[in-house]
Structure formats: C-alpha cells, structure tokens
Amino acid sequence: MSFDTLRNELLELQEQKKRNEDEAMALLDELNSPGADGSPPVGLTGNLVDEEGFPRADIDIPRIRKHRNRLAILKTDRKTLEAQIEDKLHALHEAQRNAPDDDDDNDDKNGDHQAGRNQARNGDALVEPAQAMRLAQGTQGEGDDLVPLALVNEVFAGSPAEQAGLEEGDRIVQFGSVSYLAGSPDPRPDLSAFAAEASSHFEQPIAVRVFRGDATVPLELVPRRWEGHGVLGCHIVPL
C-alpha cells in the first residue's frame, strides 16, 4: 500500500476517533448535569430507583439508559479505532523507512510525497493523537511515574474548573482516585472514570494533579451546579 494511501486512511481514522470522543463528551455532560431540582447527577452509575425500589420520578430513565448504552458502544468503538490507528502508524512508519530516497531529478515531481514522509519522520500534525500521548508521557518530571490521561482543551468562565485553577493545555495525571502508573498491567482509565469520579463527589472536593509545562501543579476541584452544563465546566480529551 502506498504511503499516501496509508496517510489518508490514518487521517480518516483520527477524524472518526475525534467524532467518537465529541459524542461521548456530550453524553457524559448531560449525565453529569444536576437535576432540575438541584438533585445530584445520576452519572454512569447512579441509581434509577428510589429507596423503596420504585423507578425514580425525578429523572428520565429511558433517556439515561439510552445514553449509558450508547457510551458503552462508543467506548468499544473507540478502543477498536485506537488499535487501528496504532496499526496504521506502524505501517506508515514502515513505508517511510523502506521508501527509497528521491533523486535530485525527481525532487519537483515527488516533493509532495517527500513532504508527507517528513511529516511522519518529524511527528507533524499527521499523527497528532498518538504524538500527543508520547509527548505528554515524555515530559513528566523525573521520578514521577504517573501517566497523563487527559488534556484540558477548554475551560469555561465562571465554572468550577476555572475556580479550581485548571487551564487550557493542562494534562491531567490525577483526578481523585483516577490515575495510571507507567507500565501498569491494569487497564488504562478512560473518560468514563473521570465522569464517575465527578458524579460520586458532587459538591465534594477532588484532588487533581496536572502537568503544566515542566511543572506539576496540585489543584482542588469541587463538582457542583453552575450556570453552564455539567458539573465541571471544562472540556477534556483523552491522551
């Protein structure tokens, strides 16, 4: 398979993964929003029945079940996409490594192909998701084995996240009990773990640790109701 074909397929897989993540975040945002009466959000694991075992009347149970089922499907699809992206990256780098160098006479003709190879060699925007993970892991402080799990790419004004001190570009390495040690055989936590932690700590402080540039910054975030959606007021994407 040609280098350009592999490159285009990789870009399409990355776009599919982004759409998957955007849909999952929208569903999580709704599940983690408090009820109209100020009741705690049901999240991914909250009870759908009351203390007497009857269906709760204060929530839309069919909609919640639909969202939870859809999130489970998206999680499975995302793992498949991540595996496909990893395979394409290996194939792309192999194609770049095995490609013969262009002769001077063919520079103009093959300039675009060489530029594409240079993207793969130099880690350009072509491989942004995988590159972001590698860069994040590679810039940890010495002796710190925690792996960044999510990137903060937006913080809304007046939100709990802003008041806690979260900033765009922060890489979250700890979110309460959610963290991951490099080399651990355990499954890597995904965004659903963040959602569950926020839901179980409604109006309670969560210890958060982020990598900001070369520094490790400890924060305290209190999930709560505010004027915007959700209980955090920030948008994060997995690394």
Choose among 163, 239, 168: nearest CA to 206.
Answer: 163
Please identify which residue in the block is written with the tokens 């780098």.
93
The SS3 call for residue 88 is helix
Where does residue 98 rank: exposed (0-12), middle (13-18), buried (19+ CB within 10 A)?
exposed
Question: What pLDDT does residue 127 have?
Answer: 40
Q: How confident is the model at residue 214 (pLDDT cuts 50, 70, 90)?
A: confident
Q: What is the model's pLDDT at position 124?
A: 38
Given a cut of 80, whether residue 101 has pLDDT beyond it is no
At residue 6, what are phi and psi to the nearest 5 degrees? -60, -40
Reported as a single tens digit per residue, the pLDDT across 110-160 is 444 444 444 443 333 344 444 444 433 333 343 358 889 999 988 999 999
> What is the tally of structural domains in the chain?
1
Which is higher by pLDDT, 51 or 144? Answer: 51
Q: What is the pLDDT of residues 35-47, one digit of tens each?
A: 777 777 888 888 8
Please report the pLDDT score of residue 195 as a whole number: 85
Q: Which residue from 17, 1, 8 is spatially nearest to 116, judged by alpha carbons?
A: 8
pLDDT at residue 175, as a whole number: 94
Packing angle of the helix pair 3-31, 128-138 (nearest 10 deg): 70
Residue range(s) defining the domain that contains residue 142: 3-238
Mean pLDDT score of the chain, rounded to an integer? 78
Beta pairing partners, 175:
178, 208
What confidence tier does 171 reach under pLDDT thresholds 50, 70, 90? very high
pLDDT tens across 1-15, in order? 777 888 888 889 888
Whichever domain contains 61, its CATH number is 2.30.42.10
